[in-house]
Amino acid sequence: MLARVSDDAELPVYDLVGGERIAAMVAAFYQRVPADPILGPMYPRSDLPMAEQRLRSFLTYRLGGPADYLRERGHPRLRMRHASFQIDLAARDRWMLLMRAAMVEVQMPAEIQAYLEGFLGDIATFLKNRSD
C-alpha cells in the first residue's frame, strides 16, 4: 500500500507510521470495544487479545510492513470472515468512530490520519452485510 503522504517520495504507509504506532492505535481501538453497546457484544470477550493481534497483523501487512498475517491466517477473505456479524451502517460507523478516537489518542499525524480514514472507511463500507 503506497500513498503520497509526504513531499519526498512514495513510501509504504507502514514506514511513515511505524509499527509501534500501528500497534498503539490497534490497542487503543480494542480498549474501547468492550464497553461499546454495538461492537462490544460482537467481539468474543475471552479472545480480545488475539483479535487485537489479528487486526494489528493484518494492518501491518496491508500498509506495507511484514506480511506475517498471510502466513498466520492465509488470504484475508474479510467479507467471508465478517459474514457471521451483523454489520449495518450503524456498526460500520461505530467501528470508524472508535478507530478515529484511537488515532487521536496515539496522535497520528494529521495527513496520515486522513489517509487512514479513507483507507479503513472503504474497507468498512465493503464489509457491510446488512441493508440499513
- List all residues 6 or more positions away from 76 whose beta carbon is below 8 Å from its beta carbon: 58, 69
Choice between 50 and 110, CB closer to ligand HEM? 50
What is the closest distance, in whole angstroms, from the C-beta atom of residue 101 to ligand HEM in the complex? Answer: 15
Q: Is-contact 87 66, C-beta < 8 A?
A: no
To ligand HEM, the closest distance from the beta carbon of 115 in angstroms equals 13
Region of residue 71 (left: phi > 0; alpha: psi -120 to 50; beta: else): alpha
Query: Which residues contact ligand HEM (rule: CB under 6 A)?
Result: 39, 42-44, 47, 51, 54-55, 58, 73, 78, 81-82, 85, 87, 91-92, 95, 120, 123-124, 127
CB of 40 to ligand HEM, least distance (A): 10
Rounded Cα distance between 91 and 124, Å, is: 9
